[in-house]
């Protein structure tokens, strides 16, 4: 559990397993436990640990042993592979956090919470793998970049690099609240945006905060959904319109546009659609960039494809402590010992599968069994088809 002066947040059996495998599956090179042995004095007396301050194992000790055995059994596969490269990236910025923290644009807006719930969660639920990158990171390897709530495009020279990347064929999803400040936190004197009006071929006529009410957005196919957070209304100069405002002072103005720019395009968000609509839009744009979900699975399952010169496979985890389901793209062998899997499979709460599909280490593993990566209950509930 977490804690300092008081214990907080007991975790159910299985949490430690999947939480220990997550960093390794996603490319980490070590897993460290805070704490290993609990403090015997000081502020965090009640923080959880692997061993108590008295030197006695806590309730998760056997789970830690199981994880260690699993790492050992899967060591060759882990060492020979890395997470498959992502073609989708999302910008995350400490400068953005600082600007929104001290220059709040809307009372309900919290930068980190919105990234977690309105950006990260829809991508995870759709099983679209993304790199979350700093504005200084290179863009060359990505086909689709999403920059939500990125007020200062001049951070790390991003404006110039984005322009060249889009012109060369990249798809950029911008906003809302992107390109609205200088690097010093000032507004632009010529327009609400530094470059976006020119790039997207729009003219922003009016802006409204998302309180005390939200406004409806009508999509090109006729569906109507609410917007949220912020509302920038656009007149299109040369931008195809994906959605317009359906009520309020912005009625009839464009809410979301998609504009060709060189070999690439700019998708500009004047407001933030609901999570399911944002997911639908990103899935559609990703598919147009030849970026596809890792697999079909319930939202509580995380699948991480891994590849290398001598091995290939996938680590699949149930991460919300409830039954999950996944459809594997090909037959695979679980290195942790639960057998061969193919097609649609059921996962028990907090079950971990290290699935290898090809490689020099695969043949000699068949027929061997090492029951790690799942509890006894998970071993009884999990099915291999």
Alpha carbon 195 to chain centroid, angstroms? 27
Helix axes of 15-25 and 61-73: crossing angle, nearest 10 degrees: 30
Give yes or no for a contact between 330 and 349, defined as CB atoms under 8 angstroms apart: no
Please give the pLDDT value at position 384: 37
Please give the pLDDT value at position 236: 97
**Whole-angstrom Cα distance, residue 76 to residue 72?**
8
High-pLDDT (> 70) share of the chain, %: 93
Which residues in the chain come in under a pLDDT of 50?
363-364, 366-369, 373-385
Please give the pLDDT value at position 360: 57
Please give the pLDDT value at position 381: 40
Q: Token pair of 83, please? A: 């997470």
CA terminus-to-terminus distance, the chain: 36
Q: How many CA atoms lie within 13 A of 326 on its CB side?
A: 35
Q: Token pair of 374, please? A: 């799942």
Please give the pLDDT value at position 158: 98
Please give the pLDDT value at position 9: 85
Sheet containing 82-83: give its strands across.
82-83, 301-307, 311-318, 352-359, 332-334, 339-341
Q: Are strands 131-133 and 88-91 parallel, antiparallel or unpaired?
A: parallel
Give yes or no for a contact between 107 and 162, defined as CB atoms under 8 angstroms apart: no
Please give the pLDDT value at position 361: 55
Give yes or no for a contact between 232 and 270, defined as CB atoms under 8 angstroms apart: yes
């Amino acid at each position: 559990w977490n804690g300092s002066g008081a214990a907080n947040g007991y975790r159910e059996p299985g949490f430690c397993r999947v939480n220990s495998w997550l960093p390794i599956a996603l490319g980490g090179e070590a897993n460290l436990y805070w704490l290993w042995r609990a403090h015997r004095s000081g502020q965090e007396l009640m923080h959880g640990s692997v061993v108590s301050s008295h030197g006695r194992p806590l309730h998760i000790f056997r789970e830690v042993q199981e994880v260690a055995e699993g790492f050992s059994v899967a060591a060759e596969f882990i060492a020979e592979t890395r997470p498959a490269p992502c073609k989708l990236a999302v910008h995350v910025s400490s400068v953005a956090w600082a600007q929104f923290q001290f220059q709040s644009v809307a009372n309900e807006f919290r930068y980190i919470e919105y990234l977690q719930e309105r950006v990260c969660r829809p991508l995870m639920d759709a099983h679209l793998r993304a790199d979350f990158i700093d504005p200084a990171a290179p863009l060359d390897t990505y086909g689709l970049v999403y920059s939500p709530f990125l007020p200062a495009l001049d951070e790390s020279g991003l404006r110039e690099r984005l322009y060249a990347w889009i012109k060369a064929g990249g798809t950029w999803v911008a906003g809302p609240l992107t390109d609205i400040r200088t690097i010093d936190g000032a507004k632009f004197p010529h327009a609400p945006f530094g470059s976006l009006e020119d790039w997207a071929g729009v003219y922003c006529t009016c802006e409204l905060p998302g309180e005390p009410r939200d406004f409806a957005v009508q999509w090109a196919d006729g569906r109507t959904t609410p917007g949220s957070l912020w509302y920038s209304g656009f007149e299109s100069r040369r931008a195809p319109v994906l959605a317009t405002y359906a009520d309020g002072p912005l009625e009839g103005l464009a809410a979301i546009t998609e504009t060709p720019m060189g070999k690439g395009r700019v998708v500009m968000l004047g407001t933030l659609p609901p999570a399911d609509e944002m997911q639908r839009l990103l899935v559609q744009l990703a598919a147009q960039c030849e970026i596809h979900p890792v697999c079909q699975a319930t939202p509580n399952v995380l699948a991480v494809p891994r590849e290398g010169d001598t091995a290939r496979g996938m680590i699949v985890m149930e991460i919300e402590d409830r039954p999950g389901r996944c459809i594997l793209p090909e037959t695979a062998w679980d290195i942790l010992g639960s057998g061969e899997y193919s097609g649609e499979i059921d996962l028990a709460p907090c079950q971990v599968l290290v699935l290898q599909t090809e490689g020099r280490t695969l043949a000699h593993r068949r027929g061997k069994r090492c029951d790690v990566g799942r509890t006894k209950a998970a071993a009884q509930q999990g099915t291999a088809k």
